[in-house]
Amino acid sequence: MTIQPGDTIPAVKLMQATAEGPREVDTGTLFAGKTVVLFGVPGAFTPTCSVKHLPGFVENAAALRNKGVDLVACMAVNDAFVLAAWAKDQGITDEVVMLADGSANFTRALGLELDLGARGMGVRSQRFALVAKNGLVTHVGIEAPGAFEASRAEAILDVL
């Protein structure tokens, strides 16, 4: 079942690249007591993700924080090393936290998996963005295949 407003963010372990190496991040802890915008992309270094989706959240990070967002996070079904390389390539510092869901466990728990096996890419995440307050989802924007509207940073700013 796909995550909906009113649902609680599932407790799953993700990975985050740090200077000391990959670090486990518990989603229960990550979302606790904060307003979080989480956006998911089909994959690091993919065209729309690299040219529009991630840059849009970086450019709008201050505006999101001005609307009460404590944390902006990007999640992809890639490993922490790939996300670290993508963050470096994109010039990300601390505007967006990069979270790796290498085995798609969190993606599946959200009900947002996308099977791209026919394209040689395996299971990925649908393109989406959600807002959660203290672990409770208040908004979810999921894209239709090939679309880029509901999960844009500007669309999230409009619902805050």
Tell me the domain boundaries of the chain: 13-159
* Residues belonging to the active site: 49
CA distances from 35 to 38, 77, 104, 135 (A): 10, 23, 23, 8
pLDDT value at position 100?
96
Going by pLDDT thresholds of 50, 70 and 90, the confidence category of residue 120 is low
User: What CATH number was assigned to the domain covering residues 13-159?
Assistant: 3.40.30.10
Please give the single-letter amino acid code of residue 110. Answer: L
Cα 106 from chain centroid?
A: 11
CA angle 58, 97, 156 (to 5 degrees): 50
pLDDT value at position 21?
87
Q: What is the model's pTM?
A: 0.94
